[in-house]
Amino acid sequence: MEPRPRSFYVLAAFFGLFLLFLYGPTITIAILSFQGPAGGLTFPMNGMSLYWFFDLFQEQAVGDIWGSFRRSFALGFMVMVSTVVVSVMGGLAFRHRFAGSTILFYVIITALVIPSILVSLGVGLLFSQSGLEVHWATSGFGAQLTWTLPFGLLIMFAVFNRFDGSFEEAARDLGATPWQVLRHVVIPIIGPSLIGVALFGFTLSYDEFARTLLTAGSYNTLPLEIFGMTTNVTTPVLYALGTLTTLFSFLMIAAFLLLAWISTRRKARKGSDAGKGMV
């Protein structure tokens, strides 16, 4: 192997600093959430304790954290399932041009670039003016889908751009019905990417703030609850909550990545070379 040029070390150092910049703040609040009872929002540490984590579970003043966590989790799950199903259907349809496909594509791009607060405002107005009540599971759910679906679809477009149609042809030649082709050929091949779509669906929903702001109704989701805390809580209990939800996010991401890794390996073991060249 040829020796590494000097630029490699400079760039590697830059990359290291970038990672520090990305993760440093998160790690800092993780450390600070273990402040002693007398500790403040910044260093020095006044002892080490789990005081603020206990505080989080006891304190009534900070609102309904567990309720909002449950709602966020349920909503994230709903958004995840819908995003996967709708994106796969959309991705399959978009493999061929059809009348109106270009317009629909630009609507998808609009959904991606429209400022979130406009979706929040528009959906909120739409519901209130048509006499419907805003609720996280209806208006909030729909508003979040306008953010997760474009991501899911872009991933599916990328996947199907690299999809080798001869596998389907072979299956059809062997007498498979369209459903069998989808179930036994297409889905197994695109499987690992679907896990990626699911990851996007869940996490983008779980952390979404702007689009749920005016569409969640009287029951807050977790990001809304946290935002409420930032304006009136000035103790490390905020960090404790931040650390816990970030930890939860990391666990979910790890689970999804593990799943994707396992399914990629399973695919490889079954001897198919489909999807090779996909990164």
Using CB under 8 A as the binding rule, the residues of this chain from 152 to 171 that contact another protein are 153-154, 157-158, 161
CA 175 to chain centre: 39
Please tell me the distance from the alpha carbon of residue 187 to that of residue 251, in angstroms, as a whole number.
Answer: 26
Q: Does 107 bind another protein (CB under 8 A)?
A: yes
Nearer residue to another protein within complex by CB, 153 or 171: 153
Q: Quick one: how far is CA 109 from the chain centroid?
A: 18
47 binds another protein (CB under 8 A): no
Asked if 92 interacts with another protein (CB under 8 A), we say yes
Which tokens in the block code for residue 158? 């990328």
Closest CB 174 distance from another protein, rounded Å: 23
Label residue 32 exposed, middle or buried (CB < 10 Å: 0-12, 13-18, 19+).
Answer: buried
188 interacts with another protein by CB under 8 A: no
Closest approach, Cβ 247 to another protein, in A, equals 10
Alpha carbon 72 to its chain's center: 12
Q: Does 137 bind another protein (CB under 8 A)?
A: no
Choose the stretch contacting another protein; rule: CB under 8 A; options: 56-64, 163-171, 201-209, 268-276: 201-209
| 3-class secondary structure, 274 | coil
Q: Does 180 bind another protein (CB under 8 A)?
A: no
Question: Does 113 sit near another protein (CB under 8 A)?
Answer: yes
Distance CA 113, CA 7 (A): 36
- Under the criterion CB under 8 A, does residue 232 sit at the interface with another protein? no
Question: Phi and psi at residue 48, in whole multiples of 5°?
Answer: -120, 135
* Near another protein by CB under 8 A: residue from 100, 131, 175, 271: 100
Interacting residue with another protein among 73, 77, 94, 167 (CB under 8 A): 94
Q: Is 108 in the site for another protein (CB under 8 A)?
A: yes
Contact segment (CB under 8 A) with another protein among 40-48, 56-64, 166-174, 184-192 equals 40-48
251 in contact with another protein (CB under 8 A): no
259: contact with another protein by CB under 8 A: no
Q: Does 189 bind another protein (CB under 8 A)?
A: no
Does residue 121 interact with another protein by CB under 8 A? yes
Amino acid at 230: T
- Residues 6+ away with beta carbon under 8 Å from 127: 133, 134, 138, 139, 215
Which residues are within 8 A (CB) of 193 and not within 5 positions of it... i.e. 6 or more apart?
A: 155, 156, 159, 278
For another protein, what does the binding mask look like between residues 11 and 30, x meaning CB under 8 A?
Answer: xx-xx--xx-xxxxxx-xx-
93 near another protein (CB under 8 A): yes
H-helix segments, the chain: 6-32, 51-58, 65-93, 101-113, 116-129, 141-161, 166-173, 178-181, 187-207, 210-213, 222-232, 237-269
DSSP 44: S
- Site size for another protein (CB under 8 A): 91
Does 78 help bind another protein (rule: CB under 8 A)? no
Task: Give the shortest CB-276-to-another protein separation in angstroms.
Answer: 12
Residue 63 within binding range of another protein, rule CB under 8 A? no
